[in-house]
Chain A
Amino acid sequence: QSVLTQPPSVSAAPGQKVTISCSGSGSNIGNNDVSWYQQLPGTAPKLLIYENNKRPSGIPDRFSGSKSGTSATLGITGLQTGDEADYYCGTWDNSLSAVVFGGGTKLTVL
Chain B
Amino acid sequence: QVQLQESGPGLVKPSQTLSLTCAVSGGSISSGGYSWSWIRQPPGKGLEWIAYMYFSGSTYYNPSLKSRVTMSVDTSKNQFSLKLSSVTAADTAVYYCARFGYNYVADYWGQGTLVTVSS
Contacts and interface: CB of A to CB of B under 8 A. Distances in A.
A20 B106 CA distance: 20
Contacts, number: 60
Contacts of A44: 96, 109-112
Interface residues of B, number: 21
A45 B47 contact: yes
A63 interface: no
Chain A contact patch, size range: 20 to 34
Nearest to A45: B109
A12 interface: no
Given A45-B96, A104-B47, A51 B103 contact: yes
Interface string A50-85: 110000100000000000000000000000000000
Given A44-B112, A45-B109, A99-B52, A92 B104 contact: yes
Interface in B96-119: 96, 101, 103-107, 109-112
